[in-house]
Structure 1
Amino acid sequence: MARVTAGIATSHVPAIGAAIDLGKTQEEYWAPVFAGYEWAKEWIKGEMPDVVILVYNDHASAMMLDIVPTFALGFAEEFEPADEGWGARPVPTVYGHTELAAHLAEQLVIDEFDLTIMNHMDVDHGLTVPLSLLFGQPEQWPVRVIPLAINVTQFPTPSADRCWQLGAAIRDAVAAFPEDLKVQVWGTGGMSHQLQGPRAGLINPEFDVSFLDKLTDQTDELRKITRLDFLREAGSEGIELIMWLVMRAALGEKVEELHRFYHVPASNTAVGHIVLKPRD
């Protein structure tokens, strides 16, 4: 049967993608950011999954603000890089895994998650930047990817606990898939940042580090963080951390932390990254 073998969480800052694409990764400003991913890039070579369920948020690229699904599952054979206003990133096409995606859709609806099924969806930096951080600049991505877009842009957004429940349901669904597949779940976005308004540029390292500390074995506290708490403590875009909880819940009750990285700043945000493995 299929199994969730690991979870990865990472920020998906668009400027990180631009630094990769423009060959700026070793410049003084960016070098510390990319150094923080070297461990994971080496680790994943020996832990290569067959499929990544990649939890991210669309930035009005595939889903404009007239239609904002709470949970949208990518159900296509391939997903092209989105043009976010300055041309699509020069990265490979993302290839999906329609059999597992169909199974996930069925099982998650049975578990009372009302998914939007996306038969066509261009994927923006929220999805492609994490792939670049872990796999560099290959001619083709080495894994199949199932995009799972979460609404964190327009209220009402799902709660932290609802995202946890989604992750737990994903774990059960993967375990029920009959094909022998190694599956990783990635949660992206965050950490604390605010892009507009009087608090633009807000970064809260204390909140970020506490979130990382609790992600292993104090998850009940993270599930209780309200949307207002995220806004107050982590800025208007800090709500993206609910996508990390989907990843964490998909790993089961007990996990081992393999690697952690935190850096301020990258563009106008804090960069967080963690690699977790189920203990059971």
Structure 2
Amino acid sequence: MARITAGVSTSHVPAIGAALDLGKSAEPYWAPVFKGFDFSKRWIAEEKPDVVFLVYNDHASAFSLDLIPTFAIGCGEEFKPADEGFGARPVPVVHGHPELAWHITQSVIQDDFDLTIVNKMDVDHGLTVPLSLMFGQPEAWPCKVIPFAVNVVQYPPPSGARCYALGKAIGKAIRSFDQDLNVQIWGTGGMSHQLQGPRAGLINKEFDNKFLDLLINDPEAAARIPHIDYVREAGSEGIELVMWLIMRGALEANVDLLHRFYHVPASNTAVGHLILKNGG
């Protein structure tokens, strides 16, 4: 049967991708960010996941105000990097795992979660930046990737509790898949940041680190954080952290913390990153 071996959470700041693509990762401003992923690259090279189930949010690349799915799963064979207005990132095409994606879709919908099924879409920095942080700049991504897009852009986004419960249903689905696969769950986005208005540039280190503590040790409490607290404490874009709860919900209650990293700033955002070994 398929097994979930680890959960990974990471920010997906677009400027990180640009820094990497433009050869600026060793510059003094960016070097501390990329150094925080040195362990992660070594670790994942040893782990060799077969599939990454990657939770992210689209930034008006595949979807728009004409169509806003709350939860959308990519069931296609491949997904090309999106042109976000300045050309597509020079990264490999993402190859999906349709058999596992369809199995998850059927199982989760039968567990009363409504998913939008997407067979063709381009994937933007929300998905490709985490892959670059973890795998570097290979000619091809070394594993299959199932994109799972969550609406945290247009009001109303799903609650943390809903995302956490969905993660449990996704974990159940993966564990019932009858192939021997090493699967990782990634939750991306965040941490605290606000891109507009009088509070543009807001970063709340105290909230961010408390959230990391809860995600590791008390995810039930993290799932109870109301939307208004994310907005007040972490800024309007801090709501992206609910996607990390999908990752955590898919794991066992007990996990081993393998790596924790937090850095301010990267562009106008706080960068957070965890690696959790499942079933610690």
TM-score category (smaller protein): over 0.9
Structure 1 residue ranges, 4+ long, deviating more than 3 angstroms after superposition: none
CA distance in 2, matches of 1:278, 1:134: 18
CA distance in 2, matches of 1:57, 1:65: 14
Q: 1:256 is paired with a residue of what secondary structure?
A: strand
Q: C-alpha deviations, 1:140-182, integer Å up to 9, x for none?
A: 0001000000000011110000000111001100111001101
Counterpart AA for 1:55: V
TM-score, normalised to structure 2, is 0.99
1:277 match: 277
CA distance in 2, matches of 1:19, 1:134: 15
2:184 match: 184
CA distance in 1, matches of 2:3, 2:279: 13
Give aligned pairs, total. Answer: 280
1:127 match: 127
CA distance in 2, matches of 1:274, 1:66: 34
Counterpart AA for 1:176: S
Deviation at 1:75, TM superposition (A): 1.0
CA distance in 2, matches of 1:10, 1:47: 18
Deviation at 1:244, TM superposition (A): 0.4
Q: C-alpha deviations, 1:230-280, integer Å up to 9, x for none?
A: 000000000000000000111111111100000000000000000001126
1:95 match: 95
> Pairwise mapping of residues 137-156 of structure 1 onto structure 2 (< 5 A)?
137-156=137-156
Counterpart AA for 1:11: S
Structure 2: which 5+ residue stretches go unaligned? none
1:78 match: 78
Q: 2:236 is paired with a residue of what secondary structure?
A: coil
CA distance in 1, matches of 2:279, 2:157: 31
CA distance in 1, matches of 2:48, 2:218: 28
Q: C-alpha deviations, 1:99-140, integer Å up to 9, x for none?
A: 000101100100111100011110000000000001110000
2:28 match: 28
CA distance in 2, matches of 1:4, 1:166: 15
Counterpart AA for 1:170: I
TM-score, normalised to structure 1, is 0.99
CA distance in 2, matches of 1:264, 1:36: 12
Counterpart AA for 1:85: G
CA distance in 2, matches of 1:131, 1:199: 30
Q: C-alpha deviations, 1:191-237, integer Å up to 9, x for none?
A: 00000011000000000000111111211211111111100000000
CA distance in 2, matches of 1:25, 1:243: 26
> Pairwise mapping of residues 219-234 of structure 1 onto structure 2 (< 5 A)?
219-234=219-234
The answer to whether the aligner puts 1:239 opposite 2:239 as a matched pair is: yes
Q: 2:263 is paired with a residue of what secondary structure?
A: strand
> Pairwise mapping of residues 15-54 of structure 1 onto structure 2 (< 5 A)?
15-54=15-54
CA distance in 2, matches of 1:169, 1:208: 26
1:117 match: 117
Q: 1:237 is paired with a residue of what secondary structure?
A: helix
Q: 1:198 is paired with a residue of what secondary structure?
A: coil
Counterpart AA for 1:211: F
Structure 1: which 5+ residue stretches go unaligned? none
CA distance in 1, matches of 2:36, 2:219: 24
CA distance in 2, matches of 1:20, 1:95: 21
Q: C-alpha deviations, 1:43-71, integer Å up to 9, x for none?
A: 11111110000000000000011111000
Q: CA RMSD in A?
A: 0.6
